[in-house]
C-alpha cells in the first residue's frame, strides 16, 4: 500500500472506533456511561499496541486501557484465542484503576488468523462491597474483583462467572446489561474492520499498524524537539481524605522524549484515594498531549514518547491491596501539576489550574425502609463539574469537565432514576478566578428527597481546602463547598447521611484566572 492508501485506511480505523464508542453509549445500562460518556473504545494490533481510540470517552480510561491490553495478552496470548472469545477484567492493576471499570477485549479473525483486538471500558454503577467511594481501607472492601478471564469462550457465555457477578452487586440487571453492552460495541468494531478488509483487498494489517505507530511517534518526536531541553519542577497540594497531600513533579524534555517523575509526592493513603500506576500514566500523558502535538492522533506511537514514573507504593503508584475506588480524585489533579511544569517553558500554550476533579457524588437510599413506607431503594451517580482554568487568550469554561472530558448528567435523567429532586442547578456567580482572562465558573446544586426521607451521599470532592491557583498574576478560583441548606458543613470525602427533611447543597469550584486583573478582557 502506498502512503495515500495507508492514510485512507488509518482514517477508516478512526471512524470504526468512533462507531464502536457510539454503540457502547447507545446500549449501556449505567447512566454515567449512557449520558456522560464515561467510557473508552479502541483497536489494538496483535502485539497489544493501541492503533486508534474513539474521541468519545475519557483519557483516564483510554490511556490506561492502552496499557491494559498487554496484560490481557500476557494471560491469554494471541495463539490461544479463538473466534467468539471475549475476555474481561475489572482488576484495578490490570484495567483502568478501580473495580467499577470493566474492560472487555475481543479478538478479530480474518482468513483464519487473529489480526486485531477491540477493547472497551465502561464504568459499571455498582460492584458490591462498600460501593463507589473513598471510605474503604483496602481493595477487598471495595467490591468484587474479576481477574483477566473469559466472558465468552468460542461464543459460549460463562454462566458461572455471570452468576458470581450478579450475586455480588446491588443491581444485577444493570451489571449484566453493561457487560453485554461492552461485548456488543466490540462486535460492532469487529464488523467494521471486516468490511474494511473487503474494501481494501490485499490489506496487510500489520503494515498499517507499523505505519500508524511509526508515523505518530516520529511526528510527536518532531514536536517535542521544538521545545527547549531541560528539567522543570512543580508541586501542588490537594485536599486528600482527611489531610492535605502533596503532588510533586519533575518534567524533563530530552531529544524527542518527555520524562515525568512524581518523586516527592505523598506516600500511599490508608483511604481509597490511591492511584494505580496505569491511571497516573494516563493523566500525566494526557496533560502533555494537550499542549504538545495535540493534532497528532493518540495511539501507541505518540504515547511512546512520554514516560512516567512514581516511587513504588506511593500515592501515585499504589500497590495491591491498597484501596483505590476514588483514584480519580487524585489522578484527575495530575494534569495541573504537569502543566505547572510546562507553563515554565511554553507558557503561551498552558491554561491556569481548574476544578479538575469531577464532582460525582453517589446518592443512595439510607436503608431505613421501615420508617419511610414509600421510600424506594436506589443508587445514582450524577456528575457535576466545576470551572476550567483560564486559557491563553480566552476565559475558562464554566461547568466543564477537564481533564476527564465527561459530560454532566441531566437533571431530568437523575430525577427519573431516583426519588430525588434537584431544586437548583445554576452557575456559581463570580466563582472563576479574576485575571485578564477569568477562570471558568462552577455551579450550585441543591438536592433533596421528594418524600423528605433521609438519603446517603458518598462524597469524592476536591478543591475545597485548596482551590485552583491562578497563573501569571491571575487570582484563584473559588473553593468548593458541601453543606446542608440548614447550615451544617460536610467534609469533601466520605459517606454521610443527609437527615430527614434536609437539602444537600454542592458548590463546585471555579477555575483560576490568567494574567493581571487590571488588563481584564471580555474574550
pLDDT tens track, the chain, 523 positions: 788 999 999 999 999 999 999 999 999 999 999 999 999 999 999 999 999 999 988 999 999 999 999 999 999 999 999 999 999 999 999 999 999 999 999 999 999 999 999 999 999 989 999 989 999 999 999 999 999 999 999 999 999 999 999 999 988 999 999 999 999 999 999 999 999 999 998 889 999 999 999 999 999 999 999 999 999 999 999 999 999 999 999 999 998 999 999 999 999 999 999 999 999 999 999 999 999 999 999 999 999 999 999 999 999 999 999 999 999 999 999 999 999 999 999 999 999 999 999 999 999 998 764 455 456 788 899 999 999 999 999 999 999 999 999 999 899 999 999 999 999 999 999 999 999 999 999 999 999 999 999 999 999 999 999 999 999 999 999 999 999 999 999 999 999 999 999 999 999 999 999 999 875 555 5
Q: Which residues of 496-512 are buried (b: 16+ CB within 10 A; e: fewer)?
A: eebeeebbbbbbbbbbb
Query: For residue 291, is the peptide bond before it cis, meaning its omega torsion is within 30 degrees of 0?
Result: no
* Largest Cα span, the chain: 72
User: 399 CB contacts (<8 Å, ≥6 apart)?
Assistant: 384, 385, 386, 387, 408, 427, 440, 441, 442, 443, 508
Candidates 100, 86, 80; CA nearest to 146 is: 100
DSSP 316: T
177 sits in which H/E element: helix 172-199
CB 395, CB 438: distance < 8 Å: yes
Residue 381, classified by CB atoms within 10 Å of its CB into exposed (0-12), middle (13-18) or buried (19+), is buried
The set of long-range contacts for 18-22, using a CB threshold of 8 Å and a minimum separation of 24, is 18/54, 18/55, 18/56, 19/188, 19/189, 19/192, 20/54, 20/118, 20/120, 20/185, 20/186, 20/188, 20/189, 20/192, 21/54, 21/55, 21/56, 21/57, 21/120, 21/185, 22/56
192 sits in which H/E element: helix 172-199
DSSP code per residue over 361-406: -EEEE-S-GGG-TTPPP-EE---B--PPPPBTTBPPPTT--TTT-P
Torsion of CA 186, 189, 193, 196, to 10 degrees: 170
Q: Are strands 258-261 and 306-309 parallel, antiparallel or unpaired?
A: parallel
Please state the pTM of the whole predicted model.
Answer: 0.95
Q: What is the end-to-end Cα distance of the chain in Å, rounded?
A: 47
R_g of the chain computed on alpha carbons: 23
Candidates 340, 333, 359; CA nearest to 460 is: 359
CA 434 to chain centre: 29
| Cα 18 to Cα 11, 21, 23, 285, 493, distances in angstroms | 11, 5, 9, 21, 35
CB 441, CB 426: distance < 8 Å: no
Per domain, the residue ranges of the chain are 3-216, 351-523
CA–CA distance, 523 with 516 (Å, rounded to integer): 15
231 sits in which H/E element: strand 230-238
The 3-state secondary structure of 125-145, one letter per residue: CCCCCCCCCCCCCCHHHCCCC
CB 374, CB 466: distance < 8 Å: no
Candidates 325, 359, 412; CA nearest to 92 is: 325
Residue 368, pLDDT score = 60
- Mapped onto helix, strand or coil, the DSSP state of residue 219 is helix
Residue 313, phi-psi category: left (phi > 0), alpha (psi -120 to 50), beta (remainder): left
Grid coordinates belonging to 160? 458461572
Amino acid at each position: 500500500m502506498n502512503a495515500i492508501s495507508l492514510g485512507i485506511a488509518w482514517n477508516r480505523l478512526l471512524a470504526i472506533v468512533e462507531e464502536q464508542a457510539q454503540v457502547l453509549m447507545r446500549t449501556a445500562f449505567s447512566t454515567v456511561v449512557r449520558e456522560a460518556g464515561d467510557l473508552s473504545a479502541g483497536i489494538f494490533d496483535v502485539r497489544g499496541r493501541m492503533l486508534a481510540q474513539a474521541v468519545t470517552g475519557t483519557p483516564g480510561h483510554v490511556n490506561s486501557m492502552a496499557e491494559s491490553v498487554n496484560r490481557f495478552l500476557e494471560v491469554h496470548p494471541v495463539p490461544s484465542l479463538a473466534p467468539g472469545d471475549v475476555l474481561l477484567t475489572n482488576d484495578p492493576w490490570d484495567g483502568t484503576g478501580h473495580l467499577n471499570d470493566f474492560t472487555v477485549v475481543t479478538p478479530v479473525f480474518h482468513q483464519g488468523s487473529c489480526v486485531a483486538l477491540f477493547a472497551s471500558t465502561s464504568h459499571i454503577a455498582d460492584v458490591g462491597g462498600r460501593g463507589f467511594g473513598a471510605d474503604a481501607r483496602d481493595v477487598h472492601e471495595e467490591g468484587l474483583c474479576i481477574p483477566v478471564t473469559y466472558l465468552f469462550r468460542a461464543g459460549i457465555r460463562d454462566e458461572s462467572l455471570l452468576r458470581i457477578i450478579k450475586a455480588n452487586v446491588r443491581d444485577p440487571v444493570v451489571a449484566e446489561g453493561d457487560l453485554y453492552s461492552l461485548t456488543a460495541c466490540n462486535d460492532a468494531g469487529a464488523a467494521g474492520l471486516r468490511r474494511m478488509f473487503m474494501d481494501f483487498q490485499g490489506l496487510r494489517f500489520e503494515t498499517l499498524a507499523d505505519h500508524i505507530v511509526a508515523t505518530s511517534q516520529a511526528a510527536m518526536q518532531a514536536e517535542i524537539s521544538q521545545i527547549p531541553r531541560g528539567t522543570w519542577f512543580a508541586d501542588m497540594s490537594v485536599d486528600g481524605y482527611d489531610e492535605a497531600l502533596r503532588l510533586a513533579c519533575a518534567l524533563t524534555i530530552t531529544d524527542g522524549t518527555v520524562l515525568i517523575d512524581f518523586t516527592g509526592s505523598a506516600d500511599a493513603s490508608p483511604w481509597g484515594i490511591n492511584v494505580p500506576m496505569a491511571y497516573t500514566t494516563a493523566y500525566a500523558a494526557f496533560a502533555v498531549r494537550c499542549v504538545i502535538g495535540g493534532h497528532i492522533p493518540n495511539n501507541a506511537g505518540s504515547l511512546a514518547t512520554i514516560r512516567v514514573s512514581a516511587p513504588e507504593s506511593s500515592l501515585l503508584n499504589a500497590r495491591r491491596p491498597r484501596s483505590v475506588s476514588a483514584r480519580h480524585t487524585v489522578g484527575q489533579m495530575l494534569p495541573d501539576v504537569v502543566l505547572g511544569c510546562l507553563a515554565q517553558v511554553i507558557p503561551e500554550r498552558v491554561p491556569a489550574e481548574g476544578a479538575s476533579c469531577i464532582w460525582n457524588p453517589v446518592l443512595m437510599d439510607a436503608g431505613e425502609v421501615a420508617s419511610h413506607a414509600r421510600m424506594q431503594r436506589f443508587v445514582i451517580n450524577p456528575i457535576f463539574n466545576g470551572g476550567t482554568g483560564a486559557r491563553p487568550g480566552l476565559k475558562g469554561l464554566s461547568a466543564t469537565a477537564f481533564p476527564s472530558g465527561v459530560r454532566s448528567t441531566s437533571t431530568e435523567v437523575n430525577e427519573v432514576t431516583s426519588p430525588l429532586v434537584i431544586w437548583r442547578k445554576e452557575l456559581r456567580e463570580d466563582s472563576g478566578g479574576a485575571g485578564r482572562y477569568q477562570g471558568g465558573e462552577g455551579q450550585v446544586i441543591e438536592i433533596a428527597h421528594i418524600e423528605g426521607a433521609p438519603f446517603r451521599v458518598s462524597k469524592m470532592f476536591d478543591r475545597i481546602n485548596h482551590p485552583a491557583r491562578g497563573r501569571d498574576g491571575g487570582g484563584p478560583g473559588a473553593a468548593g463547598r458541601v453543606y446542608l441548606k440548614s447550615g451544617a458543613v460536610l467534609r469533601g470525602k466520605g459517606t454521610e447521611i443527609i437527615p430527614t427533611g434536609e437539602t444537600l447543597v454542592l458548590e463546585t469550584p471555579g477555575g483560576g484566572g490568567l494574567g493581571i486583573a487590571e488588563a481584564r478582557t471580555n474574550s
